[in-house]
Chain A
């Protein structure tokens, strides 16, 4: 058993000392325009926000920083009226408010550039910008002329020349994003939320966005700026708030902060987590990937996976990790590159071939891709193995049960009986069924995509234990995970991906959370790097 103790939060930052007493107004400081206090929001099985505080000041940019799953997006949805908080208070200009839906929040002057592309592909650009708030003529009809005019005005402010009548689906992603920004600017808002606004913009467009941010600041708007990129945060923000695991863990003025401090706040863990990692000596290479490319999603993916090894894949959401795994499993076609599996050339063109070659993939969305919720546990586990255990086309239930019983025991599945419908199990136990079903195939390589996402603590530990045990028995595991403790605690080696490329490869020994975050966000240069890169980093594609 190995204990990973990620850094404890250092505690001497300017923010933490005050974190318990929410945002006292300092003498000489402006009063916050918006003040959220003790906001909590739970979903079945997850407490997404656990009493967070946030203040936004007029004419200032507040950066909201946090790892994937820290609760940033949930907060944005709470602030824009999509979600109603379970607990806590929102004070707008000193007055307690509740937002009854998105329209209500918009009416009160809160507008957001959302991270997801929540736009309408089939409609024109002008309609996308004004949907739900179209200008109307005296007779109550939609005023298309005025709508086009105002669209042109907004794009003029953005210094772009998208035609108002262009259909949205004919635009590239970057220009779609500009439409989202234009939509937010079409409202005369007091508060503008930017949820990763530069995620798909080119360098020039990012500079233009900064100019817009400056204009909005000068107009006295309060801006909430969410970003993974530290250089960006330092460029635009006046203040910061850091979220971790649904809690606000620090805030302060950017002038008093540095990258190291912010990263420590982001990844610091207060509780030491124990991972049941069994130390093994990895054997010969089982899977060797060489220069795997996809026209649009990833490029130059090279790595080897050895027998009995757990290889972690870390990166931000959207870095292309799942796309690579889906390509290996034969769901997405690749354009070039070679893969060797167990010494044999392996062409990943169809999941059936992957299964025959002994490679299984456990996808992230288990509900949609992993289990048949209406079928009992034993049938789910036996499903992929039916070909092996059937006799002249007939399946013996007893053999299905035998197969299922063994894996249920090894996975410590908590179910009344093997005949229980999978849909009635908890999320963690459903995940165990998914993993068990693929293990029953007797694979050589198993790819687990976010295996413990949205899973309760107990099941998490069981899945980790099982994963470790399997590796010790000689199975090779690829674990895609966005959770740093899990990556640190379970992996023998870690590959880090960013923007469709592998940007770092690290051995277990020389690994810490900050190194991973730096690599994943492209901030290696920001501080002394302590990560011991293996020779494989030579394969890693150069990055800008």
Chain B
């Protein structure tokens, strides 16, 4: 058993609680259950994207195109909904997943089959996906009045005090956690990123595992595409611009190693919550948004330092082995 104090998720949870308490001292209204639920709902999309990104990062890749994927998927469903409001919501949800998944497949194939470094692939597809939104929409916005009431209303449906958006995030977190813990693919993410050579020896296909991670990230980005567009009731070329950096930051703060092989669902969720809380709370206690960026930046670097310290490698121990033999 690992002592709790060495457990990254536990430490991060403490930090998040301390953060909430600290904010509560300055602004007690922030710590009401209603407001915390609001913060959680605000962070839902970031949380889900962070889970997909975590899978990708764990296999030693990166997905810079998540936000562009989200925007493109969101634009496609918004346009379809605007063009034909009669199309039922389940079809639109399926559509957003198909579009997001397909964009993930493109990333995954370029990494797996063509063998281009992931950062280059997704830097390219980031621009391509954004450009495609412009081509589809001609630069026009889809506004609230063009969307059907069901389209806008679905994520807002309340159930047990939380909107459906937050419930979606909870279900996704549980699903991903189960997939990572109890499927061979989930375990392969750790193996492929932790030691690719050993993964080959274990009979795993490194490229195919990376491909699967991209598809997962794409599917989640597609789902979040609809959620984002309906929540903010607008779709245009630049929605969620730069949001991929928040997603990667949530992973890094949550202890996902950028070198691959290390990461937990709990960590990624807490990382996202940490960013969500700072983003929501700092304006409340009157701190400028510029400080907020500096704080998340500082936290990212602190997280990386803490993670790097726990992973020092040892030498070959020739003498100790020799002694062990005699």
Binding site for B on A (CB under 8 A): 80, 82, 101-104, 106, 112, 114, 116, 118-123, 127, 131-134, 136, 140-142, 144, 167, 172-174, 198-203, 206, 294-299, 318-320, 323, 332, 499-501, 544
Contact = CB atoms under 8 A, between A and B. Distances in A.
24 contacts: A80-B201, A82-B200, A114-B201, A118-B195, A119-B198, A120-B194, A120-B199, A122-B262, A131-B187, A131-B188, A132-B199, A142-B181, A200-B321, A200-B324, A200-B325, A201-B325, A294-B319, A295-B319, A296-B319, A296-B320, A297-B318, A318-B318, A320-B318, A499-B322
A174 B317 CA distance: 11
Chain A to chain B: the 4 pairs with minimum beta-carbon distance, closest first: A103-B203, A499-B322, A544-B326, A118-B198
B182 A132 contact: no
A189 to B, nearest CB: 13
B82 to A, nearest CB: 40
A500 B322 contact: yes
B123 interface: no
B322 A202 contact: no
B203 A174 contact: no
B204 A132 contact: yes
B194 A121 contact: yes
Chain B at the A interface: mostly helix, strand, loop or mixed? helix
B195 A120 contact: yes
A50 to B, nearest CB: 25
B201 A299 contact: no
A201 B326 CA distance: 10
A80 B202 CA distance: 10
Contacts, number: 129
Interface of B: 2, 178, 181-184, 186-188, 190-191, 194-195, 197-205, 261-262, 314-322, 324-326
A501 B323 CA distance: 11
Nearest to B197: A118
B174 to A, nearest CB: 14
A229 to B, nearest CB: 10
Contacts of A320: 318-319
B321 A499 contact: yes
Given A119-B195, A134-B187, A198-B325, 8 more contacts: A82-B200, A106-B203, A120-B190, A122-B261, A142-B182, A201-B325, A332-B315, A499-B319
Contacts of A167: 2
Contact of B202 (A131, A142, A172): A131
A500 B318 contact: yes
B203 to A, nearest CB: 3
Contacts of A500: 318-319, 322
A297 B182 contact: no
Contacts of A499: 318-319, 321-322, 325
B316 A134 contact: no
B107 to A, nearest CB: 24
B204 A131 contact: yes
A203 B325 contact: yes
A174 B324 contact: yes
Contacts of B200: 82, 101-102
Contacts of B203: 101-104, 106, 132-133
Given A121-B194, A123-B190, A102 B201 contact: yes
B187 A127 contact: yes
A101 B202 CA distance: 10
A82 B321 CA distance: 28
Contacts of B322: 499-501
Contacts of A133: 202-203
Nearest to B322: A499
B316 A297 contact: yes
A123 B325 contact: no
B315 to A, nearest CB: 5
